[in-house]
Amino acid sequence: MAEQYPITRIAVARIRDIRKQRGITAEVLAKGMTEAGYRVDRTWIVKAENGGRAQISVDWLMAAAEALDVPASALLAKPNCTACCDAPPPGFACTTCGAKAART
């Protein structure tokens, strides 16, 4: 298995954490990323989350951010709040840290 770069590990972990926190399947994320303009399937996401991809592209990161409705910069840093991963769902606020998401 390929060793991921540290920033790739952080970004993929953030994507996985936000995805799971929101109850989004890898399949739904893949569809959202495809709609955002980056064609990907569920297996690619699962492989990345399991460390099987050493790198992700900027395009992949941007499509994931768009599909999750979070700023791309939010995917590049470790979260302060483990409850919402610093990215509560759109229109909601985290009851743990108080972070608020914009209404869409």
Residue 3: the pLDDT is 59
Residue 11 is part of which domain span? 6-75
CB 30 within 8 A of CB 40: yes
CATH number of residue 62's parent domain: 1.10.260.40
Residue 99 inside a domain? The answer is: no
Q: 49 or 80: which carries more pLDDT confidence?
A: 49
Q: Which residues contact 13 (CB under 8 A, 6 or more apart)?
A: none
Residue 83 inside a domain? The answer is: no
| Buried-exposed string 22-54: b where 16+ CB fall within 10 A, e elsewhere | bebebeebbbbbeebebebeeebbeebbeeebe
Give the number of domains in the chain. Answer: 1
Out of 3-12, 21-30, 70-79, 86-95, pick the least confident. Answer: 3-12
pLDDT in tens, 26-66: 999 999 999 999 999 999 999 998 888 778 899 999 999 99
